[in-house]
Amino acid sequence: MGQAALKASPPKAPVDQASGPWRDAWKAFRKNKTAMAGLGIILFFVLIALLAPWIAPYDFKAQQLVNRLKPPSAEHWFGTDDLGRDLFTRVIYGARISLWVGFFSVIGSIIVGTALGILAGYYGKWMDMIISRLFDILLAFPSILLAIAIVAILGPSLQNALYAIAIVNIPTYGRLVRARVLSLKSEEYITAARAIGMKNGRILFSHILPNSLTPIIVQGTLGIATAIIEAAALGFLGLGAQPPDPEWGKMLSDSRQFIQKAPWTVVFPGLSIMLTVLGFNLMGDGLRDVLDPRMKN
């Protein structure tokens, strides 16, 4: 009897066919060709940034005035700048700076914005009023102008530019999380958690925060592209990375007077910014299509 029941039981699904929300999301993401193209571009620049000391043929600070404004050649693939520095080397090292600013400024914005958004949405009342008015004040200024003001106060440097970019983007994530929390805290499972005596801290970390990750991930991916553009804008104005750091925006600023005489000094840093931002935008759109239930058929 036992053997017959054992034979009648359905076979277990293979391990490689196991299903889950994140596994299913990855399968759907892989089917999106534009999103995979964006991921490929991002991985390409990340790999270049990590391997810069081994890939770069020259020292990014080495000046050779005798070779200034040389066009692209077998010796200098991207040509040289007005100080004779190899542009290929400086573009490679510039990927490190731009990605570093993009990733860490967004991480800072997400941490602070998520914390404030959860507090405002969950506790409401006077706390929601104060935090929401703070967000409104920050959003009242154009982001780049507010970033310029913050860097002007703190002093021009790459680190201060990172702080400024993180601060101006806090309201974006804070308001996103606040709206998500307002919709989640009225759900039945949150009411049940309160009914059984679960403390607010545990509710926030066990239920509210995990169910708020999807919009944060999507917005964070798109936010990195915005942060890279803002870092380049601050660098172009001389408020970001300082010489001799090879930041893409600063490279554009230093080369703007040679656009007609030596266009390669502008083309390659500008192309790097465009491709990196494009990669994050394509991947962010793909993540939105996969993770947002409203985008699913």
Does the pLDDT at position 293 exceed 60?
A: no
Residue (of 178, 167, 34) closest to 106 by Cα position: 167
Within a domain: 46: no
Chain centre distance of CA 283: 11
Ramachandran sector of residue 79 (left: φ over 0; alpha: ψ -120 to 50; beta: rest): left
Within a domain: 100: yes
162 pLDDT tier (thresholds 50, 70, 90): very high
Tokens 């991947």 belong to 283
Q: What is the pLDDT of residue 295?
A: 55
Number of structural domains, the chain?
1
Q: What is the pLDDT of residue 241?
A: 84
Average pLDDT of the residues in 28-54? 90
Cα–Cα distance, 234 to 181 (Å, whole number): 34
Residue (of 174, 165, 166, 183) closest to 131 by Cα position: 174
Q: What is the CATH number of the domain that holds 167?
A: 1.10.3720.10
Give the chain's mean pLDDT: 85
Average pLDDT of the residues in 162-188? 89
Does the pLDDT at position 124 exceed 90?
A: no
Q: Which residues contact 214 (CB under 8 A, 6 or more apart)?
A: 291, 292
Within a domain: 68: no
Question: 80 pairs with which residues across the strands?
Answer: 86
CB distance 197 to 275 below 8 Å? no
Task: Give percent helix, percent strand, percent coil of the chain, each to the nearest 5.
Answer: 75, 0, 25
Within a domain: 31: no
Q: What is the pLDDT of residue 19?
A: 59
Cα–Cα distance, 182 to 131 (Å, whole number): 14
- Tokens for 165, please give them: 């970019």
Does the pLDDT at position 188 exceed 90?
A: no
Give buried/exposed letters for 117-149 (b at 16+ CB in 10 A, else e).
bbbbbbeeeeebeebbeebeebbeeebbebbbe
Average pLDDT of the residues in 80-96? 91
Does the pLDDT at position 4 exceed 70?
A: no
Q: What is the pLDDT of residue 208?
A: 81
Within a domain: 237: yes
Ramachandran sector of residue 9 (left: φ over 0; alpha: ψ -120 to 50; beta: rest): beta
CB distance 248 to 269 below 8 Å? yes
Percent of the chain whose predicted confidence (pLDDT) is above 90: 40
Within a domain: 179: yes
Q: Within 13 Å of residue 200, how many CA atoms lie on the same side as its CB?
A: 6
Q: Which stretch of 10-14, 49-53, 117-121, 224-228 has the lowest confidence by average pLDDT?
A: 10-14
* 194 three-state secondary structure: helix
Within a domain: 36: no
Within a domain: 75: no
Which domain range does residue 192 map to?
80-289
Predicted confidence (pLDDT) per residue in 131-160, tens digit: 999 999 999 988 889 999 999 999 998 899
Does the pLDDT at position 26 exceed 90?
A: no
Predicted confidence (pLDDT) per residue in 218-244, tens digit: 899 899 999 999 999 999 888 888 888
Average pLDDT of the residues in 152-176? 92
Average pLDDT of the residues in 177-187? 85
Average pLDDT of the residues in 38-53? 93
Q: What is the pLDDT of residue 5?
A: 46
Average pLDDT of the residues in 233-261? 88
